[in-house]
Chain A
């Protein structure tokens, strides 16, 4: 199992979640975050924005679905300019559903 953490533009987050739901990945968590990347924020005129608002989408999937999810997020969050976001993939040892105690996602 892998945990995929995608940091995307807030205005594209609905696009991403709808796209994932269409492909059958309904279960996810999202939260608003603030961050910056290689470009050290954003400068508009004289104003420098150190941290930019982004949406963090967390989704845990089976190993075989990772590539598909990545492809969907990449396609749906893409605008082509700086600030489209990043995706991180990390391992998950085990899962537990509180209500049923099932060990599956």
Chain B
């Protein structure tokens, strides 16, 4: 059992949900979060936004330190992990900075509260 934690663009949420539905993986937890990566947030210089002289003089070129993102948590069976990751990459790849990251973490066990099933049966 693995836990897939993916950080994606908020605008790609609907497309991601759709493709996961098609794969019959409907259990997803999504959370709005704020994050940044190697580029240290939204940098207007990297993003190619033209700055007015006024902004440069005032020093208003800090951009955004944390960018709003959506965090998806999917707990899946070992054999489904590759399929899910592939689907996430396919839908979320735009080629621009900020496409997100996917982490795969080991999970010991899961339990369904209603039926007390545990292990893969609980997923």
Secondary structure class of chain A's binding surface, majority of residues: strand
Name the residue of chain A whose CB is nearest to the CB of B95.
Answer: A99
Q: Size class of B's contact patch?
A: 35 or more
Q: Given contacts A92-B105, A95-B101, A101-B89, are A29 and B33 in contact (CB under 8 A)? A: yes
Closest to A100 in B: B99
- Number of chain A residues whose Cβ lies closer than 8 Å to a Cβ of chain B: 22
CA distance A95 to B66 in the complex (A): 21
Flag whether A96 is at the interface (Cβ < 8 A).
yes
A1-14: CB near B (< 8 Å → 1, else 0) gives: 00100000000000
* Residues of A20-62 whose CB lies within 8 A of B: 21, 26-31, 58, 60
Q: Would A29 and B34 count as touching, CB distance under 8 A?
A: yes
B residues whose Cβ falls under 8 Å from a Cβ of A: 2, 5, 7-8, 31-38, 40, 65-66, 69, 71, 85, 88-89, 92-106
